[in-house]
């Protein structure tokens, strides 16, 4: 099926998810929409995030005829995913369930840690999903809102970033979790600092990697996989393409070209 896969985020963070999707599915075409005019979503209400998500999904489905929708934003996944799945007939993949399945397979007595934006942690979506599958699981979630700004500044491993990571994750120092879910798509670019603090005994779960596995399976099961040939990405933003391109290189790992500004 030649239709593209739609991917959206509140800004640049979802590019870490797109990066994994492109690596796993090089023959697929993708349309990525970053809602840069209304970023960040992390401190907004559930009603607002859901409204924004519906507006973006409408654009990607009606204008670009996407065959599958990836909600590459943990806040939107936590707050808006059930509504999106009720409205649209195409498959909708979020960030929470793929991570939780992976965590469930790896977690032992040390339990499961979660870090994310204030909105994601406040929603309780990860804890609810984990306890539905593993009722006795030890779970601890910590909001780490400053990590988003550090990631966008490109401060991935300097002394300031290490100090902020240590401050946020200090509750895990005495009792490290078996796995830590990186519950924000900005956080994979800070993996080095997070791993240095927690040590090699904690497995870091990247939502982009897990979502890419799910999308790969869904495209095969539904017969929607593109038959062959080179894939590609079309980038859409709701504000300031130049800033998106500049910051996005750190997240996508490549030069971003052909970025178009759209109105929702």
Residue with token string 């998500």: 53
Round to whole Å and give the CA distance between 204 and 133.
20
| DSSP letter assigned to residue 161 | H
Helix axes 15-24, 207-221, angle to 10 degrees: 50
Is 99 labeled as catalytic in the residue annotation?
no
| DSSP letter assigned to residue 173 | T
Query: Which of 66, 73, 129, 181 is the catalytic position?
Result: 73
Q: Who contacts 122 (Cβ-Cβ below 8 Å, separation ≥6)?
A: 143
Question: Tokens at residue 44, please?
Answer: 């907004």
E strands in 78-174: 92-93, 112-116, 139-143
Query: Which of 115, 184, 198, 247 is the catalytic position?
Result: 184
Is 144 labeled as catalytic in the residue annotation?
no
Query: Catalytic residue positions?
Result: 73, 184
């Amino acid at each position: 099926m030649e239709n593209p896969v739609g991917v959206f985020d509140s800004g640049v963070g979802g590019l870490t998810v797109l990066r994994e999707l492109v690596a796993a599915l090089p023959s697929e075409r993708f349309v990525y929409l970053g809602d840069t005019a209304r970023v960040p979503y992390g401190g907004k209400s559930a009603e607002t995030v859901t409204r924004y998500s519906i507006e973006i999904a409408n654009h990607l489905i009606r204008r670009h005829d996407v065959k599958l929708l990836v909600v590459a934003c943990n806040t939107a996944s936590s707050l808006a995913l059930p509504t999106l799945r009720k409205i649209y007939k195409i498959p909708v993949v979020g960030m929470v369930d793929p991570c939780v399945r992976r965590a469930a397979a790896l977690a032992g007595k040390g339990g499961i840690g979660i870090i994310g934006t204030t909105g994601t942690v406040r929603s309780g979506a990860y804890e609810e999903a984990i306890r539905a599958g593993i009722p006795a699981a030890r779970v601890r979630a910590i909001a780490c809102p400053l990590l988003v700004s550090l990631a966008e500044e490109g401060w991935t491993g300097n002394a300031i970033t290490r100090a902020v990571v240590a401050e946020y994750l200090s509750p895990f120092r005495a009792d490290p979790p078996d796995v830590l879910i990186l519950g924000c798509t900005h956080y994979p670019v800070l993996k080095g600092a997070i791993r240095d603090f927690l040590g090699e005994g904690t497995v870091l779960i990247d939502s982009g990697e897990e979502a890419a596995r799910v999308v790969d399976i869904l495209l095969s099961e539904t017969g929607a996989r593109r038959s062959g040939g080179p894939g590609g990405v079309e980038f859409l933003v709701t504000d300031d393409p130049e800033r998106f391109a500049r910051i996005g290189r750190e997240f996508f790992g490549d030069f971003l070209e052909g970025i178009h500004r759209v109105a929702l």
